[in-house]
Structure 1
Amino acid sequence: MIKHTASAIALAFVLTACGQNNQAPTAAEIEQPAVTAEQIAANSERINAWFDEKYEESLQFSPMGLTFLGRKDKYDEIDCFTIECMQEQLDWRVAATKEMEEMFDYDALSPADKISYDIWKYQTDQAVAGKEFVYNGYVFDQMNGPQGFMPTFMINFHRVDTAEDMQAYISRLKGIGRAMNQAIDIAKESASRGVHAPKFAYEGVIDQSQKVITGAPFTEGEDSAIYADAKGKIAALVETGEVSEEDGEAMLEDVETALLDDFKPAYENIIAFAEDDMANSPDPDSPVGANTQPNGEAYYNHLLSTQTTTDMTADQIHQIGLEEVERIHAEMESIKDQVGFEGSLQDFFKMLRDSKDDERFYYPNTDEGRQAYIDDATAVIDNIKVHLPEFFGILPKADLTVKRVEPFREQDGAAQHYYPGTPDGSRPGIYYAHLSDMTAMPKRELEVIAYHEGIPGHHMQISIAQELTGVPQFRTQAGFTAYVEGWALYSEWLAQEFPDTYQDPYSNFGRLGSEIWRAIRLVVDTGIHSKGWTEEEAVQYFLDNAAITETQARSEIQRYIVMPGQATSYKIGMMKIQKLRQKAEGELGDKFDIRAFHDTVLGGGALPLQVLERRVDQWIEEVKAS
C-alpha cells in the first residue's frame, strides 16, 4: 500500500527488525487523486486524537513515568521490571502501530502529521530491533540501575501533599523491594548468558547500595537519606494539620517496617549479586567493550543506530572523531598563545591539571568552595536568561535550580546531569553537580557545563518540548539522544554569541575542552566497543588530548564502558544542527532569522536527525516562498 511505502521512504535511514520496504514508489502509486485541504484537516484531527489516546494508554504501563509528569495516577505503584512486562509493552506497541498503519493514509496527512506518524513508527521499529539484545546491557552499574535511581525518585519526585500521598509513599517503599528483585533476576539471567559488568561497575553498585541502607533505621547513627525524607514529609503533614501527631507516628512506624522488611533485603540481595558476579568480571587489562559480549558486535551497531539516529558505522564515527580532535587542537593552540603560555599544548594541559591549589583554576575543596560553585553556576545561567528573547521566540516556562548530588550517589569527578521538571511547571528542572572532590571540578568548565545542562541546553530544550501544545503529547516526551545531547552541545557553542559569556580566555578554553571531550568520545567509544581498546588505552588517549584530570578521564571512560554508544550522540547531533544552520544561513541570506531557526529546531520536540533535517528544509522553503 502507498502509506507503507511512503513511510518507508521517510524512514529509510532506520535499520530495524521490521523489514520495511525501501523501494521507490511506482508510477501507478504516485498517480493518486489530489487530497483536499479539508480532508487533510479532518485526518489531522483524527490522527492527533488517536496519538493522544495511545499515548495515554502507554503511560499506564509506568506508574513512575506518570509521577515524573507530575501526575498522581497509580501513585502507590512501582513499575514492573520483568521480561514478561517488557514483552507486554512491546506487543501493545506493535499492535498500536499496525492499527495506525491500517487507519491512516500517509499520503493524506499534513507534513506535520507525517512527522508524528514517522516518529511513532520509528520508535516502534527501534523497540522491536532492541528485543534481540535485552540481556546484553548491564542492569546494575556505577552509572545506572535501580540502586541509586529508586531513592532519588522517592526523595525528589514523589511529592507528599496529603495523607493519601504518604500512604502511597509507604506502598511504594514496599514495591521497590519487589521491583529490585525483579531486576536482579534479569541481571542473573544476563550473567548466565556470559554478560558480566566490570569490577569497577560492581564496586560502584556495592558502594551506592551500602550508602542507601546505612543509618537509621537500618543501622545505628544518623538517619539514612530515605528515612530522613520520609520523616520530613510526615512532619510537614503534621505541621499543616493534614494528619494528627498520632497518625504521623503510625505512618512513621509503617515506613520503618517497609524499609526493614522489603527495602533493605532487596538492597542486600543487590550487594550479594554484585559481590558474587564480580568474580566473573572481565580482566581490566583486556578489552572490555560491548563486542566482547555474546552477539556483541550486532549489539553495538544497534546502539550506534539508536543513539545517533543514523546508519553511520563505527569506523566512520571513529574517523570523524580523529578529525575533530585535530581541528579543535588548533583552536586550543591559539588560546594557549593568547594567555602567554610557553610550551606545548600537552604542557598546557598538564599545567591546568596540576594547578589544583591555584584559585584561578579550582575552587577550594571545602563547603564554601562547593557553595561558590553552585552560586557561580546560577549566576551564569541568570545572565543567559536575560538575553534569551534575542535568540529564541519560544521560551520555557519551567524554572531551573542548581543542586549538589545527594551523598548516597555522589561520585568524585562524575558527569553533571539534568532531571526535567514537570510539564505544568509545578516542579522545576534540576541541574545536578557532583561536588565531593572540587579538585576534579575545574573553574574553566563551570560556564560551559551550566550552558549544557541548564540554559540554553537541556533545561530549555526539554522544558519547551514538554510545554508544546501544537504536537501530539507523545512527542513532548520523546528523547532521541542525538537530538537532545546534540542540542546541548550546540548550546555550548551558541552561548559565545550571547553578551558577557566566556570572557575569561580560560573559560573559552573550557568550552573548547568540552567540545574536544565530545570529539574524543567518538574516538574512545568506538575504540573500546569495536576496536578492542582497553580501559587504560582509552584513559591515556583522553589525557593525551585534553586538559581533563585523571579522575575525570577514568570516570568518563568507565561511563562509556557501561553505556556503549551513548557518548557518540553528542558530537554527531551538534554537527548536524550546525550544518542545518549553515544551510539555512546560506540559502536564506538576509531572510535568515536566528530566532525562527531555533524555534524550528525546538518547536517540534526531539526528533531523529533526518526528520529534523526534513523539518528545517520545510521551514527554509516556507521562508523562501514568503
Structure 2
Amino acid sequence: MKKLTFLLFTIVAFNACKESPKQEAIPEPNAEFAALLDSYYEDGLKLNPISATMAGDNRYNDQFPNFLSDEYAAQLKAHFEGYKTKLAEFPDESLMESEKMSKAILEWQCDINLAEFDYNANLTPIDQMWSPNLFMGQLASGSSAQPFNTVEDYQKWMKRVDGYLEWLSSTEDKMRVGMEKGHVLPKSLTIKVLPQLESLTTDDLDQHLFYTPIKNLPDSFSEEEKLELSTAYEQMVKDKVIPTYQKLHAFMAGEYSEAGRESSGIQGEPNGDAYYAHQIKKYTTTNMTAAEIHELGLSEVARIRSEMEKIKEQVGFEGDLKAFFDFVRSNKELMPYTDAQQVVDNFNQIHEQMKPQLELLFDMKPKTPFEVRRTEAFREKSASAEYNPGSLDGTRPGIFYVPIPDVTGYNVYSDESLFLHEAIPGHHYQISLTQENEALPKFRKTLWYSGYGEGWALYTESLGMELGLYTDPYQLFGMLGAEMHRAVRLVVDTGLHSKGWTREQAIQYSLDNEAESEASIISEIERYMANPGQALSYKIGQLKIRELRKKAEDTLGDKFDIRQFHNQVLETGCIPLALLENKINNWIEANK
C-alpha cells in the first residue's frame, strides 16, 4: 500500500500453513515463542484498532489513533524494531518447522515495515482510492465491519469518529509539508478526491453518510435512547464531521490543487526511484527490478493477444483485435440489465452453476458465509470490484462488492472470471480457510501479502473451465481480458513509475491492448498512480503459482492430485512467494 498508515489498514485477512512435509521430530512446541507471536498480534491490534474491528474483535471499536502523528510513528517503529530483536533470541534449531515459517514471516514483516520509514509516504495521506477516509466511509454506512447493534456500539462509533476527525484534520498539515518537500499528488488525482470530500459536506442529514446508522436504529432501543442517539449524531455530523470535511475540501480544491504534480509517476517525487523499488519488493515479495517486470509484461501481453485472436476468429469477427475490443466494449447484447439487482443475481447464479465442480478441485471449503453486495453509492464511481473478508469467528460474512454506477452500461463479458477472482474460489476461499485454521498463530491469520493473495485470486480465474464455466466464448474472452488487464499492469505501472510515462500514454497503451471501457481504464491508471507497485502483484504471484503447479504435475505425473496441491497452497496462506516456493518444492520431493 502506498501509505504507511494504509499498510496497517489492510491487516485484514489471510495466512495459513502446514509447512514442509519433511518435519523433524526433534523440537517440541516452543511455549515462549508462541507467547511472543501472541504478543505481537495483540500489540498490533492496539496500534491499529481498525484491524481489530475488521477481524471481528470489538474491544477497540471506539478508537482511531492519529496515524500521522510523530508519536504514533515512534510507537510503530519501536514495535517492529522490538519484535525483530526478540525474534533473534530464538535460533532456528530450537523451533519446529511451522515455527520456523512463522519466524521467517515475522522477520520479513518487520523488515518491510521498517524500510517504509526511509520514505515520505505519509506526506500524501489522501488519495482517490486507497486512503483511510474511504474505508471509514464504509464503516460509517453501518453495513460494514463496525457493529451497530447496541447503544454502546453507537456510542463507541461517535468516539471513534472523534479520533478519525483528528486524523483527517492533520492530513492538511502533512500535505502542507509535502508541498514544501515536493511530495504531492498529481493534479489529475486531486480532481478525483474533491467530489468524494464534497459529498460529505452536505447538511441534509438524510443524505449524509455519517448519519446513516440513525436511520437503522434497532427496534429494541427505547424511545428515549433513540432520541438521545439521534440528537447526538445530528450534533456530531453538523458540528464536527461537516466542518472538518469543508475545511479539507477547501484546502485541496485551492492551494493543494495548484501545487499538484504535472508528472504522473512516482519518479516525479524526490527519491522516487528508491521508493518504487521498495514498493515492488513490498507488493511482489520478490527482488525483481522494474526493468525485469516491464519486459515480462511486454512478453505476457504478446502471448495473451495471440490467445485473444483465436476467440475473435471463433465468434466470426472481421477486423483487427483493437476493433474487436471496441466491439466487445460497446456490444449492447453484453449489457442486458436495467436494474442493479440483476447484476447481483447474475453473480449468485454463477456461484450456483459452479458448485457441483468445486468438489473436484477442492476438498476444503470455508465455513464463513458469503454474500454479493452492490458497492456503496458514495464511492461507487471510483471503486473497483473487491472482496472484504469475514470476521475471524465467522459471524460476519465475506462480502464481494461490485460497483454498478450505471446499470444500463454494465458489461457482463468478464463476470465469470471476476467472480472466480474476488469471490469463490479466489479471495473468499483463500482468506476464510486461513482465518478458520486453528493451528495457526493469530498474527498469521491477519497478514496480507499482495503477491500471494492477488496471485492466488488471478490463478483461480484460469480454473473456470474445470469449474464448468467459460462455455460462452465471450466469457472466455473475459477471462483472457482479465489476465491481459493484469499483464498490461506490469507494463503501465513500471512505465509510469520508472520510465517517465504520462497518464495519457498509459491510458492509450491499455486501450490498445484490452477491452475495458475507457472510463474503467482511466480509473485503473489513476489507481496505479496513487499506489505505485500494488498492481504488479497479481501477475507476478499468478505466474509463480502456475509455475509451481506445472512443476508438480510434471514431476509427480499420475501421483499429482489437484486438490492436494490446492491444499498445500491455501494452507500456507499469505506468505512471501519465496517461502511458498520452498514449501511446494519440499512437498513435491516428499511425494515423488
TM-score by length of 2: 0.92
1:75 and 2:61 correspond: yes
Aligned residue for 1:228? 212
1:249 and 2:249 correspond: no
Which residue identity lines up with residue 391 of structure 1 in the other structure?
A: L
1:316 and 2:295 correspond: no
Aligned residue for 1:600? 568
Which residue identity lines up with residue 454 of structure 1 in the other structure?
A: A
Tell me the CA shift for residue 620 of structure 1: 1.6
Contact preservation (8 Å) 2:201, 2:243: no
**Secondary structure of 1:264's aligned partner:** helix
Tell me the CA shift for residue 439 of structure 1: 5.9
Using the TM superposition, name which of 461-470 and 387-396 deviates more.
387-396
Using the TM superposition, name which of 205-214 and 306-315 deviates more.
205-214
Aligned residue for 2:10? none
Which residue identity lines up with residue 389 of structure 1 in the other structure?
A: E
Q: Is the alpha carbon distance of 1:409 and 1:215 closer, same or farther for their aligned partners in structure 2, counting shifts above 3 Å?
A: farther
Aligned residue for 2:301? 325
Aligned residue for 2:162? 174
1:214 and 2:202 correspond: yes
Aligned residue for 1:153? 139
Aligned residue for 2:486? 518
Tell me the CA shift for residue 347 of structure 1: 1.7
Runs of 4+ displaced beyond 4 Å? none
Contact preservation (8 Å) 2:461, 2:479: yes
Tell me the CA shift for residue 125 of structure 1: 0.5
Q: Is the alpha carbon distance of 1:175 and 1:137 closer, same or farther for their aligned partners in structure 2, counting shifts above 3 Å?
A: closer
Separation in 2, partners of 1:36, 1:288: 52
Contact preservation (8 Å) 1:374, 1:403: yes
Q: Is the alpha carbon distance of 1:539 and 1:439 closer, same or farther for their aligned partners in structure 2, counting shifts above 3 Å?
A: farther
Aligned residue for 2:334? 361
1:62 and 2:38 correspond: no
Tell me the CA shift for residue 206 of structure 1: 1.5
Q: 1:204 aligns with which of 192, 214, 219?
A: 192
Using the TM superposition, name which of 532-541 and 395-404 deviates more.
395-404
Aligned residue for 1:417? 386
Contact preservation (8 Å) 1:289, 1:528: yes
Separation in 1, partners of 2:121, 2:304: 38
Q: 2:578 aligns with which of 607, 610, 617?
A: 610
1:142 and 2:128 correspond: yes
Q: Relative contact order (alpha carbons < 8 A, sep ≥ 6): 1 or 2 greater? A: 2
Separation in 1, partners of 2:540, 2:156: 42
Which residue identity lines up with residue 258 of structure 1 in the other structure?
A: M
Contact preservation (8 Å) 2:214, 2:229: no
Of all paired residues, the percent bearing the same amino acid is: 39
Tell me the CA shift for residue 116 of structure 1: 0.7
Aligned residue for 2:17? none
1:492 and 2:461 correspond: yes
Q: Is the alpha carbon distance of 1:137 and 1:478 closer, same or farther for their aligned partners in structure 2, counting shifts above 3 Å?
A: farther
Which residue identity lines up with residue 211 of structure 2 in the other structure?
A: Y
Tell me the CA shift for residue 245 of structure 1: 0.3
Which residue identity lines up with residue 190 of structure 2 in the other structure?
A: Y
Q: Is the alpha carbon distance of 1:577 and 1:112 closer, same or farther for their aligned partners in structure 2, counting shifts above 3 Å?
A: same
Q: Deviation digits for residues 172-196 of structure 1, max 9, x if unmatched?
A: 2322211212333323322221111
Aligned length: 566
Q: Is the alpha carbon distance of 1:137 and 1:467 closer, same or farther for their aligned partners in structure 2, counting shifts above 3 Å?
A: farther
Contact preservation (8 Å) 1:176, 1:262: no
Tell me the CA shift for residue 440 of structure 1: 5.4
**Secondary structure of 2:28's aligned partner:** helix
Aligned residue for 1:86? 73
Contact preservation (8 Å) 1:135, 1:190: no
Contact preservation (8 Å) 1:79, 1:179: yes
Tell me the CA shift for residue 137 of structure 1: 6.5
Q: Is the alpha carbon distance of 1:93 and 1:492 closer, same or farther for their aligned partners in structure 2, counting shifts above 3 Å?
A: same
Which residue identity lines up with residue 119 of structure 1 in the other structure?
A: I
Contact preservation (8 Å) 1:440, 1:551: no
Aligned-pair RMSD on alpha carbons? 1.8
1:194 and 2:178 correspond: no
Contact preservation (8 Å) 1:147, 1:205: no
Q: 1:129 aligns with which of 105, 112, 115?
A: 115
1:430 and 2:395 correspond: no
Contact preservation (8 Å) 1:147, 1:208: no
1:563 and 2:563 correspond: no
Q: Is the alpha carbon distance of 1:42 and 1:467 closer, same or farther for their aligned partners in structure 2, counting shifts above 3 Å?
A: closer
Contact preservation (8 Å) 2:148, 2:213: no
Separation in 2, partners of 1:301, 1:187: 23
Q: Deviation digits for residues 70-98 of structure 1, max 9, x if unmatched?
A: 12102221232223203212212211220
Contact preservation (8 Å) 1:400, 1:429: yes
TM-score by length of 1: 0.87
Separation in 2, partners of 1:122, 1:438: 43
Q: Is the alpha carbon distance of 1:521 and 1:622 closer, same or farther for their aligned partners in structure 2, counting shifts above 3 Å?
A: same
Which residue identity lines up with residue 402 of structure 1 in the other structure?
A: V
Contact preservation (8 Å) 2:511, 2:518: yes
Aligned residue for 2:442? 473
Which residue identity lines up with residue 277 of structure 1 in the other structure?
A: Y
Using the TM superposition, name which of 81-90 and 437-446 deviates more.
437-446
Separation in 2, partners of 1:537, 1:316: 20
Q: Is the alpha carbon distance of 1:387 and 1:87 closer, same or farther for their aligned partners in structure 2, counting shifts above 3 Å?
A: farther
Aligned residue for 1:24? none
- 5 Å-filtered alignment, 1:329-348, equals 329-348=305-324
Q: Deviation digits for residues 300-352 of structure 1, max 9, x if unmatched?
A: 11101111111111110000000001101111111111111112112211212
Q: Deviation digits for residues 419-440 of structure 1, max 9, x if unmatched?
A: 1110111111111111112465
Which residue identity lines up with residue 88 of structure 2 in the other structure?
A: E
Aligned residue for 2:100? 114
